[in-house]
Every structure is written in structure tokens, then in C-alpha cells.
């Protein structure tokens, strides 16, 4: 897309668009050439147990086949099943952080794989740790190591089972917010450290055939590091864990308000925003949330439900794994 057409398309974003770097403009010009990629929302809730939603997790599929799993919080394993996903088809698992609502069902995935035909090692990408929170290697060892809580699954770490979890640690140091890149099964994977209070966390971007999906993870986006991977995303899955105008100082260090989601989407030329990770405090204020986002972003906006399926190319909801 030519720059002028882009400016016309985004209308009100013309002012902020004008300050885009050349590189960002080039990324926005990418055309998504693959109509067969979709995202299944395996869970759209947070950690609360009275929100009638599974905690967060997302599945990127191609031609209906599971390819990239992003987070696997409480309850997502059931929707993985409903989506007809097979562990054998996964190219990689991307973990954004080790809060329960983002990683609780990881042991269920590993145990479930015992009954699958998987024989290829499964790359698992996740954040480095700090004094408070374990990094990926320690997290996996505490679960599946010889002394781990699920030591009976240690064969998936030591290689004596039919396949091995292959950990790839990505720096979550927000003081050095370098963009990490890798490639898995034809998908380009990028990550950047994002601020989530004292919890090491990563935002993820997955691309194929000019199509890009970005997962914000939980973040306040202090330092605006997430902006490094959002340029021109077809779908931006953004977490709506606090309402606009929140004065909860602890929550504000963990999560970004809707206006920040709108700023990122508007300035990055995002085409479709899909909101997720709702909590009771954001569940009943959706009109105000939409207004705060739309004040800075003119593209499409959706409030996800568990099992929603979104086309990456069009950004439109195409179905549900619950039916």
C-alpha cells in the first residue's frame, strides 16, 4: 500500500502516521497473502474464577491445523480440545510469563502429549527470570525435573520419552529491550521484553506470508517496548485487564489502560484489535473501553469470547470452537 493510501485509510491517524519511521511504513505496506491463517482464542479471561472465561491462551492455526500456541492458562486445555487441535501439529509453544493465568495448563499439555503421536521435539520459548520469578529452564525443571512436582513426566525433559521439550530462553530484561527473532516451521517469531511490574514478561509477534499477529501479553507498556513489534499487525491481541481511568497503582504497573492500547494500535498501523484477558473490573465497562481506544485508533475492534476464531487476513470473526 502506498503511503498516501495508507494515510487515507487510517484518516485521523494521519498526524501520528507522519512520524512513523521508514521501516515502520515498509512493514505496513506488507500484504497478508495467506487466507488460511486464523487465531483461536482458547481463553479470554484473567485469573479470577468468577468471570466465566478460561484464562488466557491463543492458538495460531494454518488450514485448521494447530501451529503456534501462545500461553496456556487455566482452562485453555479444554478449548484446545474443542478446537480440534493436535499436539503433533504444534511447531512451537510461546510463553509470555509464568503467572498462573498464562501457564497453568502447561502440565496438562505435556501429560496429554503422552497419548499423542508426537515424536518431534517441541520448542518451548519463554522468558528469562529474575530474583522473584524463575526463568523458563527453572520453571520447566520445577515442574518436570527429577525433583519437580510432576517428576513422573521428567522423560519429556531428559529425552527418554517419545519427544523432548526444547526450551529456548528469551531475555525479558526491559532495561535492554532487544527484539528476539527465530523461525519455526515457516513462521517468523519475534519477542520483546515488556513491563509487567516485577514479573519478567514478553510480547510476541508471529508472521507468515506477509501476515502478522501480535500478542501483547500482560503489560503496562511502561517504556513502550511493545511498540517495537506491533508495526502493521493484521491482528493485535491486546489485554484489557484494567479500565480507563484506573487509579489502582499496583494494577497500573501490571497492565495498560484502553487508551494505551489505542495509542499503540493507531501509531503502529494495526488493522484489527482483538481485546482479551478481561477481568470483572473491565467486563462491564466495554462501551467506555471502546471509546478510549477509538479516540486514538480508527481500525476494527472486537471484544473476544472464549473459542472465538479470527481470520488473520481479514481480522473478522469466522467461527467458534464452542460450536
What does the binding site for Zn ion look like in residue numbers (CB under 5 A)? 101, 218
Q: 317, 323, 316, 241: which is closest to 281 by C-alpha?
A: 241
Give me the least distance between CB of 97 and Zn ion, in Å please: 7
Question: Left, alpha or beta for 41 (phi > 0: left; psi -120 to 50: alpha)?
Answer: beta
Q: Is 197 exposed, middle or buried (0-12, 13-18, 19+ CB in 10 A)?
A: middle
- Distances 175 to 36, 178, 194, 310 between C-alpha atoms, Å: 38, 9, 10, 34
Give me the least distance between CB of 257 and Zn ion, in Å please: 15
Nearer to Zn ion, 57 or 315 (CB): 57
Question: Left, alpha or beta for 185 (phi > 0: left; psi -120 to 50: alpha)?
Answer: left
The tally of CA atoms less than 13 A away on the side-chain side of residue 225 is 26
Give me the least distance between CB of 115 and Zn ion, in Å please: 29
Q: Is 301 exposed, middle or buried (0-12, 13-18, 19+ CB in 10 A)?
A: buried
Query: Which residues, at least 6 apart from 30, have a Cβ–Cβ distance to it below 8 Å?
Result: 210, 212, 232
Give me the least distance between CB of 218 and Zn ion, in Å please: 4
Length, in residues, of the chain: 323
Give me the least distance between CB of 150 and Zn ion, in Å please: 22
Nearer to Zn ion, 228 or 239 (CB): 239
Give me the least distance between CB of 125 and Zn ion, in Å please: 18
8 A C-beta contact, residue 43 and residue 56: yes
β-strand partners of 190: 181, 205
Nearer to Zn ion, 43 or 218 (CB): 218
Nearer to Zn ion, 28 or 217 (CB): 217
Give me the least distance between CB of 53 and Zn ion, in Å please: 12
- Tell me phi and psi for residue 226, to 5 degrees: -60, -30
Ordered strands of the 300-303 beta sheet: 180-184, 187-194, 201-208, 211-215, 235-239, 272-276, 300-303
d(CA 35, CA 143): 38
Give me the least distance between CB of 274 and Zn ion, in Å please: 16
Nearer to Zn ion, 123 or 218 (CB): 218
Nearer to Zn ion, 67 or 255 (CB): 255
Nearer to Zn ion, 239 or 271 (CB): 239
Nearer to Zn ion, 255 or 271 (CB): 255
Nearer to Zn ion, 218 or 315 (CB): 218
DSSP, collapsed to helix, strand or coil, labels residue 107 as helix
Give me the least distance between CB of 35 and Zn ion, in Å please: 31
Amino acid at each position: 500500500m502506498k503511503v498516501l493510501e495508507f494515510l487515507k485509510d487510517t484518516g485521523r491517524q494521519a498526524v501520528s502516521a507522519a512520524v512513523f519511521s521508514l521501516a515502520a511504513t515498509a512493514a505496513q505496506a506488507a500484504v497478508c497473502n495467506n487466507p488460511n491463517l486464523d487465531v483461536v482464542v482458547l481463553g479470554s479471561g484473567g485469573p479470577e474464577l468468577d468471570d466465566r472465561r478460561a484464562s488466557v491462551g491463543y492458538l495460531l492455526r494454518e488450514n485448521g491445523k494447530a501451529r503456534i500456541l501462545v500461553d496456556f492458562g487455566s482452562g485453555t486445555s479444554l478449548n484446545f480440545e474443542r478446537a480440534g487441535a493436535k499436539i503433533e501439529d504444534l511447531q512451537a509453544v510461546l510463553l509470555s510469563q509464568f503467572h498462573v493465568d498464562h501457564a497453568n495448563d502447561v502440565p496438562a499439555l505435556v501429560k496429554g502429549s503422552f497419548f499423542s503421536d508426537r515424536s518431534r521435539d517441541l520448542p518451548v520459548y519463554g522468558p528469562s527470570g529474575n530474583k522473584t520469578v524463575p526463568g523458563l529452564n527453572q520453571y520447566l525443571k520445577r515442574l518436570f525435573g527429577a525433583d519437580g512436582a510432576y517428576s513422573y513426566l521428567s522423560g519429556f525433559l531428559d529425552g527418554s520419552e517419545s519427544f523432548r521439550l526444547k526450551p529456548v530462553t528469551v531475555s525479558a530484561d526491559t532495561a535492554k529491550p532487544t527484539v528476539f527473532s527465530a523461525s519455526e516451521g515457516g513462521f517468523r517469531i519475534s519477542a520483546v521484553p515488556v513491563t509487567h511490574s516485577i514479573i519478567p514478561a514478553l510480547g510476541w509477534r508471529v508472521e507468515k506470508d506477509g501476515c502478522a499477529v501480535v500478542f501483547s501479553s500482560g503489560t503496562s507498556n511502561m517504556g513502550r517496548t511493545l511498540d517495537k513489534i506491533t508495526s502493521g499487525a493484521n491482528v493485535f491481541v491486546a489485554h484489557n485487564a484494567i479500565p480507563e481511568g484506573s487509579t489502582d497503582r499496583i494494577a497500573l504497573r501490571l497492565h495498560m489502560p484502553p487508551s494505551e492500547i489505542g495509542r499503540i494500535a493507531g501509531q503502529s498501523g494495526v488493522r484489527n484489535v482483538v481485546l482479551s484477558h478481561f477481568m470483572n473490573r473491565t467486563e462491564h465497562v466495554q462501551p467506555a473501553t471502546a471509546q478510549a481506544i477509538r479516540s486514538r485508533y480508527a481500525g476494527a475492534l472486537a471484544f473476544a469470547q472464549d473459542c472465538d476464531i479470527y481470520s488473520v487476513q481479514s481480522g473478522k470473526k469466522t467461527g467458534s470452537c464452542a460450536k
